[in-house]
Copies of this chain bind each other. A is one copy, B any other.
Amino acid sequence: MDLGSYLREKKAIVDRNLEAYFPEAEGRASDLMDAMKYSLFAGGKRLRPILCMAGAEAVGGDESRVLSVACALELIHTYSLIHDDLPLMDDDDLRRGKPTCHKVFGDAIALLAGDGLLTESFNLMTAPESTNGISPHLILRVIALISGAAGYRGMVGGQVVDIQSEGKGVDLSLVEFIHSHKTGALIAASVASGVILAGGDESQIEAISSYGRKIGLAFQISDDILDIEGDSRIMGKESGSDEQKGKITYPAVIGMGKAREIQSELVAASIEALQMFDHRAEPLRQIAHYIIERKK
């Protein structure tokens, strides 16, 4: 298989669905809708939705059945970026080469756009058209999984520790905690959700969750490395911003060589975790490699 075509094709499906889901902004709160859509269509890779679809595919499931949850994951990811970029958080002016949401719409609307996207993700997961033909027990399980991974035990908790550790001396266990919570948890939940909704059994769910945790951590280490070595034209933001902000990164804590080593080990272990799966897990295997080879 050609991963490039696979990713492009899946991204197009996600984009079409997200566009269909959000109506044209009109009426009294039209700025809110504009702000939500501005960030949602600002050029994301749609990695989390694609992982959800690829998870379903790995157990022989139909991607169309997981599409609503896949799109909901992108809403959650987008909300987290909008709130992250706010002046009271990372205070970033650019994201993917474009002005951040609050630079365009103001801080208050950006905050509310994030709140709106997060809330809407749960509406999307429970809309009658999303749940059609899928056991409601499975949907409840997926909402519990995703909300757990996105909340204080996962992404939000990782953010707090990240902020509080900035500029302080940290060790490997702390940066691993931050990365696995801030980024890894939602990525792991994304791929596991696909397996759950497609009717995967418990051993399959556990194996794919293990894969997800490993690539989730590897993905954040890639972000760290790209921030130092990446091409700012490709990434759409200046390199070196993590260091400038005193951000906790793998290269800062253990050096670039060791960071790359851990990353390679994580990718190898993530593929190892997929050994019970046949060729239908090939996209997941290739995505694991892509995660450390990506340029943005």
A130-152, CB under 8 A of B: which get 1 and which 0? 01000111011101100110111
Q: Tell me whether B148 and A123 are in contact (CB under 8 A).
A: yes
A3 interface contact, C-beta 8 A: no
Cα–Cα distance between A136 and B135 once the two chains are bound (Å): 9
For A76, the closest partner residue in chain B by CB is: B119
Q: Tell me whether A89 and B116 are in contact (CB under 8 A).
A: no
A77 interface contact, C-beta 8 A: no
Q: Tell me whether A152 and B122 are in contact (CB under 8 A).
A: no
Q: Tell me whether B89 and A156 are in contact (CB under 8 A).
A: no
Q: Tell me whether A150 and B119 are in contact (CB under 8 A).
A: yes
B-side contacts of A140, CB under 8 Å: 126, 131, 136, 139-140
Q: Tell me whether B120 and A118 are in contact (CB under 8 A).
A: no
Q: How many copies does the complex hold?
A: 2
B-side contacts of A181, CB under 8 Å: 29
A251 interface contact, C-beta 8 A: no
A282 interface contact, C-beta 8 A: no
Q: How far is the CB of A126 from chain B (nearest CB, A)?
A: 4
A164 interface contact, C-beta 8 A: yes
A32 interface contact, C-beta 8 A: yes
Residue from B36, B83, B131, B152 within 8 A of A33 (CB atoms): B152
A140-B136, A144-B123, A177-B28 known; A151 vs B89 contact (CB < 8 Å): no
Cα–Cα distance between A114 and B163 once the two chains are bound (Å): 16
Q: Tell me whether B152 and A36 are in contact (CB under 8 A).
A: yes
Q: Which of A38-46, A103-111, A272-280 contacts B (4 or more CB under 8 A)?
A: A103-111
Q: Tell me whether A156 and B28 are in contact (CB under 8 A).
A: no
Q: How far is the CB of A32 from chain B (nearest CB, A)?
A: 4
Q: How far is the CB of A35 from chain B (nearest CB, A)?
A: 9
Q: Tell me whether A152 and B32 are in contact (CB under 8 A).
A: yes
Contact count band on A? 35 or more
Q: Tell me whether B88 and A29 are in contact (CB under 8 A).
A: no
Q: Tell me whether A115 and B147 are in contact (CB under 8 A).
A: no
Most buried by B among A87, A140, A181: A140
Q: Tell me whether A126 and B112 are in contact (CB under 8 A).
A: no
Cα–Cα distance between A248 and B107 once the two chains are bound (Å): 20
B-side contacts of A114, CB under 8 Å: 115
A1 interface contact, C-beta 8 A: no
Q: How far is the CB of A117 from chain B (nearest CB, A)?
A: 8
Which residues of A come within 8 Å of B, CB atoms?
A: 28-29, 31-33, 36, 79, 83, 86-89, 107-109, 111-112, 114-116, 118-120, 122-123, 125-128, 131, 135-137, 139-141, 143-144, 147-148, 150-152, 156-161, 163-164, 174, 177, 181
Starting from the known contacts A111-B111, A118-B119, A123-B143, 18 additional A-B residue pairs (CB-CB under 8 Å) come to A28-B177, A29-B152, A32-B152, A89-B111, A112-B163, A115-B151, A118-B118, A119-B147, A119-B152, A120-B151, A123-B144, A123-B148, A127-B144, A128-B144, A136-B136, A136-B137, A136-B139, A136-B140
